[in-house]
Amino acid sequence: MHLRDSVVIVTGASRGIGRAIADRLAAEGSLLVLVARSAGGGGQGEGEGPAPRWVTGDVVDPDTARKAVAAALESFGRLDAVINNAGLGLRAPVWRIAPEDLRYVLDVNLIGPLNFIRAAVPPMVERGRGLIVNVSSAVARRPVPSLGGYAATKAALLSLSETLRMELSGTGVEVLSVLPGSVETGFKSAARGEPYPERPGAVRLEPTDVADRVVRAMAAGRREVAVLSRSERLALLAGRVAPGLVEKALLRRYGGGGSPGDGPGQGV
């Protein structure tokens, strides 16, 4: 898609990856409608063009999605893309996951994007063009100890995203699935479940790395983009060749959850 003057909704734009995507799109000349429960520190997505419109609300509430789509149509006369980025983590070995935590995270990570898909796809199909971007996670494809509940929500989103892409073929509406590895954001402090242990020295991506790749994938009309650090890419490749060995290495590194402190220190 052509990014200059395109009208884009970004959810979870108050900080982290969503904020970086909003800033990057503003630099490309996109017109933005930003969504989060709070507006964060302000200043997101401000470029040379018109100031972004903010819709504050919870993505789990279908009204938030309806208001964001209405804001795009009223302010800018059209809607070109929705980036379903708002989401949160959940860390606990599967056998210690509190069902209410998983239910809450599933609501935000899956029903939230579904609300925006339901509100945005009809006007996009009617116009014969549009793009839905769903931010899943690398753990949707690679199980990691203590991230099973979170991974389940992101795998569900990936499945929804891939199916939607097939269903919309021929309508002019495209779907892009994004699978980031571990990114340095406030993700860990917002997560449900057990605290993430600190792992000083761990190499993580920056939100701007993800934003750059997402914006390039949007412009290139890609259907999927995995944004991984070098070590994550190597681990993924090794997992294809020797899955048993990689599982053992992951267990050694992150623990199997046998004691409360065991588990990954990463934020995917």
Ligand X SMILES: NC(=O)c1ccc[n+]([C@@H]2O[C@H](COP(=O)([O-])OP(=O)(O)OC[C@H]3O[C@@H](n4cnc5c(N)ncnc54)[C@H](OP(=O)(O)O)[C@@H]3O)[C@@H](O)[C@H]2O)c1
| Whole-angstrom distance, CA of residue 62 vs CA of residue 113 | 10
Q: Which of residues 183-202 bind ligand X (CB under 6 A)?
A: 183, 185-187, 190
Helix (H) or strand (E) holding 1: none
Of 149, 180, 239, 257, the residue at the interface with ligand X (CB under 6 A) is 180
Of 85, 134, 146, 161, the residue at the interface with ligand X (CB under 6 A) is 85
Stretch that binds ligand X, among 36-44, 69-77, 141-149, 215-223 (CB under 6 A): 36-44
Nearest to 178 by CA among 131, 225, 141: 225
Of 6, 115, 134, 182, the residue at the interface with ligand X (CB under 6 A) is 182
Q: Which residue has the tokens 């479940």?
A: 193
Q: Measured from the CB atom, is 177 or 185 closer to ligand X? A: 185
Q: Which of residues 197-236 bind ligand X (CB under 6 A)?
A: none
Of 108, 124, 214, 218, the residue at the interface with ligand X (CB under 6 A) is 108
| Whole-angstrom distance, CA of residue 178 vs CA of residue 69 | 22
Note whether 103 binds ligand X by CB under 6 A. Answer: no
Other Cβ atoms closer than 10 A to 152: 21
Active site residues: 150
Q: At what angle do helices 148-167 and 99-106 cross, to 10 degrees?
A: 30
Note whether 147 binds ligand X by CB under 6 A. Answer: no
Note whether 18 binds ligand X by CB under 6 A. Answer: yes
Minimum separation from the CB atom of position 248 to ligand X (A): 23
Note whether 59 binds ligand X by CB under 6 A. Answer: yes
Other Cβ atoms closer than 10 A to 130: 25
Note whether 37 binds ligand X by CB under 6 A. Answer: yes
Torsions phi, psi for 145 (to 5 deg): -50, 140
Specify the DSSP class assigned to residue 183. Answer: B
Looking from the CA of 176 toward its CB, the CA atoms found within 13 Å total 24
Minimum separation from the CB atom of position 169 to ligand X (A): 25
Specify the DSSP class assigned to residue 116. Answer: H
Q: Measured from the CB atom, is 226 or 249 closer to ligand X? A: 226
Query: What residue ranges bind ligand X (CB under 6 A)?
Result: 11-18, 36-38, 58-60, 85-88, 108, 135, 137, 180, 182-183, 185-187, 190, 267-268
